[in-house]
Amino acid sequence: MTKTTLLHEGKAKKVFLTDQSDLVIQEFKDDATAFNNKKKGTIADKGVVNNAISCRLFTLLEEQGIRTHLVEKLSDRDMLCKRLDIIKVEVVVRNIAAGSLVKRYGFKEGFVLQQPIVEFYLKDDDLDDPLMNDAHAVALGVATAEELVILKSRAEAINLVLRQFFADRKLKLVDFKLEFGRHKNEILLGDEISPDTCRFWDLDTNEKMDKDRFRFDMGGVENAYSEVQKRVLELD
Ligand code: UDP
């Protein structure tokens, strides 16, 4: 399978068309951005690490009956995927208070939520990805009410699988962001699942092992990403 034209270049990935019309190749870059593009940089080998982690996690989810866009890992940086009509909703799942939950509602960072919280954000950089409820999403025409029910239940199911997987690897899954898309009358999980899109804290020390180290100039970014990769792949 070979790349033909560049379909889209995002902050962390390029998406290429292929010679098969329903398949695309996601190429993972080392570029890193935070705070909606206000902070930019690179994280050495991030693309390689995030591709490896995402492929492993999508395979795990498939094994658990959750459909994803993954077809196969093609190379260090390239993932062959089913082409999706991306739903412009970012689905965030939270197990522990951090980030914007702390800022917006005054939770203490680290507060363990009794029940996971699922949130929808409009995927629109120009508007700074605003938080929205179901009525907003339906009114905007980004998803139907039925699709939103599926997104929420799919996100909850994914959370159960991932939380256990990471606990077995001595990582707390604090929160994470998912994107879904439509493909031949099905909704599939798309995008990536990586330290760019999740918060991971070490189970024993609570050390942050994700993009927060880049966001807040904490140092040790590459080490944190490769430690997550090591733990994700080590029990295979
Ligand atoms: N997240 C993401 N992309 C975004 C916004 C959030 O991957 O555009 C992830 C983020 O890494 C974290 C979770 O979603 O794991 C919740 O993020 P939050 O709402 O706390 O926003 P942030 O603090 O990242 O601005």
93 Cα to the center of ligand 1, angstroms: 10
Residue 208: both structure tokens together: 């942050």
pLDDT digits (tens, 9 = 90+) for 35-61: 988 999 999 999 999 999 999 999 999
- Phi/psi of residue 224, nearest 5 degrees: -65, -45
Atom 6 in ligand 1: residue holding the nearest Cα: 177
**Res. 235: pLDDT tops 80:** no
Mean pLDDT of 63-73: 98
pLDDT digits (tens, 9 = 90+) for 1-34: 899 999 999 999 999 999 999 999 999 999 999 9
In short, whether 177's Cβ falls inside 6 Å of ligand 1 is yes
Mean pLDDT of 193-214: 98
* pTM confidence score: 0.97
Domains located in the chain, CATH noted = 6-82 (3.30.200.20), 85-221 (3.30.470.20)
Q: pLDDT at position 130, please? A: 98
Pairing of strands 78-82, 23-28: antiparallel
pLDDT digits (tens, 9 = 90+) for 85-128: 999 999 999 999 999 999 999 999 999 999 999 999 999 999 99
Atom 11 in ligand 1: residue holding the nearest Cα: 197
Q: pLDDT at position 59, please? A: 98
177 Cα to the center of ligand 1, angstroms: 6
20 Cα to the center of ligand 1, angstroms: 33
Specify whether the CB–CB gap between 54 and 79 falls below 8 A.
yes
Burial of residue 147, with CB atoms counted within 10 A of its CB: 0-12 exposed, 13-18 middle, 19 or more buried: middle
In short, whether 200's Cβ falls inside 6 Å of ligand 1 is no
Mean pLDDT of 201-212: 98
In short, whether 99's Cβ falls inside 6 Å of ligand 1 is yes
Q: pLDDT at position 1, please? A: 85
Residue 224: both structure tokens together: 């944190």
Q: pLDDT at position 16, please? A: 98
Atom 7 in ligand 1: residue holding the nearest Cα: 197
What DSSP string describes 100-136? HHHHHH-PPTTPEEEEEEEEEEE--GGGT--EE-HHH
pLDDT digits (tens, 9 = 90+) for 164-196: 999 999 999 999 999 999 999 999 999 999 999
